[in-house]
Structure 1
Amino acid sequence: MVVAVVGVAGTLGASLLTQRGAERAKRREIELVREHEEVRENLALRRTCYAALNRDSRQYTTALNRHLHVMREQGVQDADREALDAAKAAHRDTYSEAQMIAPDAVLAAATAVNHALTLVYGQVKRLERGAPEAGETMETVSRAQQAIWDLLREMRAAMRVDLGVSAAD
């Protein structure tokens, strides 16, 4: 009788342990899938943000260059100011998003670009008003604007490394 009870208890216990083990394995599998989805969504979010920031930063840099040419050649009109301010606003919005998403290495490069763009924008506006600070000329501002392209390349490289598209230097 005791042997029968122990046998039945062992059989029932084994099936319960097997069932609990299977449940634990299934829960772990679900957790792994969820973690994988989160990683994939985070990567997609960064990719989208980086593409927008790269595009808008380049367009802002191009708008500054165009504005300088307009200032030299014909004088600035309201439409020219609006185009520059629209490029500035687009960059500001995507940079703000990157501040919340990008890791430190990418954010450092993006901040350098943002800082350079802000400085050149201020110089352009002072020249436009006819009130440049000491040393600010069309030539010095143009050189500062052209230097932004190197910062943009560095920012893009940091983004590509973060996304796993390029290897780190």
Structure 2
Amino acid sequence: MDLGAVLIAVAGVTGTLGGSLLTQRAAERGRRRELELVRDQEASRELLALRRACYGELNRDARQFTTALGTYLFVLRAGAPTDADRAALEAAKAAHRDRYSEAQMIAPHSVLAPAAAANRALNDVYGRLKRIERGEPAGGEDLGTAEEAREAVWPLLRTLRTALRADLGINDPF
């Protein structure tokens, strides 16, 4: 047998085996990329679902805290609040605090900035009402200024809601 023929045969077999090996590796790389893409898409969907749930609850709890502050203000005007009145206010405050804390872990700055502004305003009104209830209002604080501060929360909540909706990709006006 001729050495040249053997070398040609070996080169042919090597080329055939090498080609199938390269094809197999390319197919594996393609499958890995496809799996990574599927995982990334699934992670994005899960994060969107998590944000949607958190944002809905944050919006609801901020509004309920605002309403509870208004109810408590009404009760203070009418006389001394009962333990049930205090418990209702504390429950609304705790629910908002929990939701705000959750949002701090998953929301981008575009949502956190208006959430923080609303949170500060809500806690400011809460502090005013508690100081008034204890008979220790800060300079110029009374039920009238507390009501004005509570009313000033609503525009902050609208700004927050707009930011929440924008982050979820809902850009139509509400």
User: TM-score band, normalised by the shorter chain?
Assistant: over 0.9
Paired position in structure 2 for 1:12:
17
- Percentage identity across paired residues of the two chains: 61
2:109 aligned with 1:114 = no
2:101 aligned with 1:83 = no
Separation (CA, whole Å) in 1 of partners of 2:152 and 2:126: 13
1:13-61, Cα deviation, whole Å (9 max, x unpaired): 1111100100000000011111111111111111111111111111000
Q: CA RMSD in A?
A: 1.3
Q: Report the Cα offset of residue 167 of structure 1.
A: 6.1
1:96-151, Cα deviation, whole Å (9 max, x unpaired): 11111111110111110110011100100111122211111111110100110100
2:70 aligned with 1:65 = yes
Question: Which of these residues, 145, 153, 171, is aligned with residue 166 of structure 1?
Answer: 171
Aligned residues: 168
Paired position in structure 2 for 1:40:
45
Change (3 A) 1:167 1:4: farther
Separation (CA, whole Å) in 2 of partners of 1:6 and 1:78: 91
Question: Which of these residues, 128, 131, 149, is aligned with residue 144 of structure 1?
Answer: 149
Separation (CA, whole Å) in 2 of partners of 1:142 and 1:50: 26
Paired position in structure 1 for 2:136:
131
Please give the secondary structure, in 2, of the residue aligned with 1:133: coil
Separation (CA, whole Å) in 2 of partners of 1:68 and 1:5: 93
Q: Which runs of 5+ in 2 are unaligned?
A: none
Normalising by structure 2, we get a TM-score of 0.92
